[in-house]
Structure 1
Amino acid sequence: MLRIRHEVNGGAEVLFAEEADVPAAGAGELLIRVEAVGVTLPTVRKVREGGEPVSFGGEVAGTVVAAGPGVTGISGFAPGERVTGLCFADAYAEYAVLSTAMTSRIPAGVGAVEAVALVRSGLVARGAYEAARAEPGESVLVTAAASAVGTLALQYAKAGGARRVVAAVSSAAKADFVRDLGADEVVLYGDADWRGPYDVILDGVGGDLLGPAVRALATGGRLVAFSSGGGTVQAYELLLRGASLIGFQMRAIATGKPALYERWRRELWQLHAAGTLRTAVHEEIPLAEAARAHALIEQRRNHGKVVLVP
């Protein structure tokens, strides 16, 4: 099978295609023939910032080829079923292994690319919004609003009855795109005034933007950080506003609260079927051109999900 491997060559990051053996499904796992792979910002950052080779993780969608030991019963998956889920290693390949705990069936009529754009990003958007304890009538700011998670977070905020939903993006070229997905207003990261204060901020960027985001919070506001960008916050800024900074990680829900995770997945598909949530795919890129996909995200040029297609 074709697989993408990462190497560090003289300080340069290199992604190249190679032939590899098809992996085997272990206990509680599925082997799938991959039809689409979602490229995520955390993976791109790991490649760029780490000094060691990275094994690519990511969302994948495809058809079950084989089920490992223990995948039985009514809730089990069978060969031929179409599924999507999170793969923690060697996701950039023609075949991948998924844990059944991180896998969901793709409804009839939904394509693999659409599934990859919806499920993981939608779950993160839902979880971050839930962590913020957002209430109808509040104001919401979403950073990285043109990203796969950001586009769905905007829609969750609108569906949740937010009084005002503002998208924060890196470029004015993304303004019409995020407005079409529900943003009432658009601000740029470099703007001196983010037009706050906001009751809720969903931050998918981190780093240097974390400080300005905290300063845009209203009294009693909540900022949910779900990115891999890090950043530093002065405690005084939170005390001044009586505000909260909340970290959210989707994997903690998937492994620690499986019943809640499954309920969120079901609701996600229902909202998508009802037209409440729309996916946005920037481009489908051949698997062998993974480096180009990473460059799109690193340069903040994507409008929605970037997907690799074997």
Structure 2
Amino acid sequence: MRRVRYEATGGPLFLEEVPVPQPGPGELLVRCEAIGVTLPVVRKVTEATGPVPLGGEIAGEVVAVGTGVTRFGIGDRVTGLCFGHGYADYAPLHEAMASRVPDDASAVDAVALVRSGMVALGALMAARPVPGEAAMVTAAASGVGHLAVQLARARGATRVVGAVSDPAKAGFVRSLGVDAVIVYGDDDWGEPVDYALDAVGGGLLTRTVAALTPGGRLVAYSSGGGTIQAYDLLGGAKSVIGFQMGRIARDEPEVYERWRRELWRMFAAGTLRPAVHEVFALEDAAKAHGAIESRGNLGKVLLRP
């Protein structure tokens, strides 16, 4: 089978031929039909101290199961987060990370919706939203962000602000139903918001905290780091909440499953619309990474073997 890997940090991605893996205990072997490309994985290639497996979101058909698997069988269509080599024709997926893909949904739908939607919904729930509040979502055109703005509205936000890196993204974000779009470099960010979901980090954190009302909450779920000064929080009694999906999947599986069901329910009802920026061939993984690195994507970037 074909698999994408790289040999050195920041080095080129290339295809290699390797044997089809065998599922280990508790694992499914999935023939990949769609693979999600995310900023954390792109950063692994450019920033990690050495080569690591290119894992991530996958969706496809189960072709083999390991010992101890009880919830899935050969022929089932599943999606989930692969921690091994996911940029491949076939990939291992632990049963605990897998969920069924409905018959009326495609593999592309599943990858665009489930993992990014789980992060978006989890970050939103960490903010403890109250109907009638105002919300801000940074990286609002991203694979997670474009779902987060829709979820914030569905959870009762009466004003939703989408923050983006480029004015060219404004039209796309407005099509999602936001009330206002701001660009990171704008001098005026408008009226303050009750909570903000931040996927950017770095120097943007200070400005996002400043955009909060007194008592406002910032949920940080970025892999981009950043520093917040305590005095920026104290005066307005603001708070910062860290969110990581891995902890929920590991420690609160019943919550993880409930959120998955909620995403599919909203998708079926038409209240949550995942957008796909572009689908690249597996051999074009470098181009897919480039779309993420340039921050030019509008919605989800995917690979299709």
Give 1:176's aligned residue.
171
| Structure 1: runs of 5 or more not aligned | none
Q: In the aligned structure 2, how far is the partner of 1:57 from the partner of 1:204?
A: 20
Which of 263, 266, 277 is the aligned partner of 1:282?
A: 277
Shift of 1:292: 0.5
Instruction: Give the partner amino acid of 1:2.
Output: R
Note if contact 2:10-2:46 (Cα within 8 Å) is conserved in structure 1.
Answer: no
Shift of 1:12: 4.5
Give 2:257's aligned residue.
262
Shift of 1:65: 0.4
Q: In the aligned structure 1, how far is the partner of 2:128 from the partner of 2:114?
A: 21
Give 1:144's aligned residue.
139
Percent of residue pairs identical: 62
Which of 288, 296, 299 is the aligned partner of 2:294?
A: 299
Which of 68, 71, 89 is the aligned partner of 1:70?
A: 68
Give 1:6's aligned residue.
6
Q: In the aligned structure 2, how far is the partner of 1:70 from the partner of 1:170?
A: 46
Note if contact 2:277-2:297 (Cα within 8 Å) is conserved in structure 1.
Answer: yes
Equivalent residues in 2 for 1:226-245 (5 A)?
A: 226-245=221-240
SS at the partner of 2:271?
coil
Give 2:45's aligned residue.
47
Shift of 1:51: 3.1
| Structure 2: runs of 5 or more not aligned | none
Shift of 1:66: 0.6
Q: 1:101-153: CA deviations, max 9, x gaps?
A: 11000001111011100000111111000000011111100000000110110
After superposing the two structures, state which structure 1 stretch, 133-142 or 188-197, moved more: 188-197
Post-superposition, which runs of at least 4 consecutive aligned residues in structure 1 deviate over 4 A?
Answer: none
Instruction: Give the partner amino acid of 1:255.
Output: R
Note if contact 2:135-2:196 (Cα within 8 Å) is conserved in structure 1.
Answer: yes
TM-score of the superposition, structure 1-length normalised?
A: 0.97
**Superposition CA RMSD, Å:** 0.9
TM-score of the superposition, structure 2-length normalised?
A: 0.98
Q: In the aligned structure 2, how far is the partner of 1:211 from the partner of 1:47?
A: 28
Instruction: Give the partner amino acid of 2:117.
Output: G
Note if contact 2:10-2:45 (Cα within 8 Å) is conserved in structure 1.
Answer: no
Q: 1:249-280: CA deviations, max 9, x gaps?
A: 01100110001111111111001000010010
Q: How many residues align?
A: 305
Equivalent residues in 2 for 1:82-93 (5 A)?
A: 82-93=77-88
